[in-house]
Structure 1
Amino acid sequence: MIAAVSEMADTRMTHSPQQMDGLGRLIGSLL
């Protein structure tokens, strides 16, 4: 699961900083 999240994070990072921020909050809530 961590690998999937990491891969998704890489995709979002190159896609949009705002989406990356949202993803960061999501990961933070999961952890």
Structure 2
Amino acid sequence: EGPLLVVASGRDTVSLASSIKKLAPSNVFVVQ
């Protein structure tokens, strides 16, 4: 699989980003 782009907004952004980065830290880009 290629890189995953995550677009997050709202108050869940930080927890969502950290959860995703725990699962796939090397291929996830988070746009806030």
Give the TM bin, normalised by the shorter chain: 0.3 to 0.5
TM norm structure 1? 0.44
**Larger fraction in helix:** 1
TM norm structure 2? 0.43
Higher relative contact order (CA 8 A, sep 6+): 2
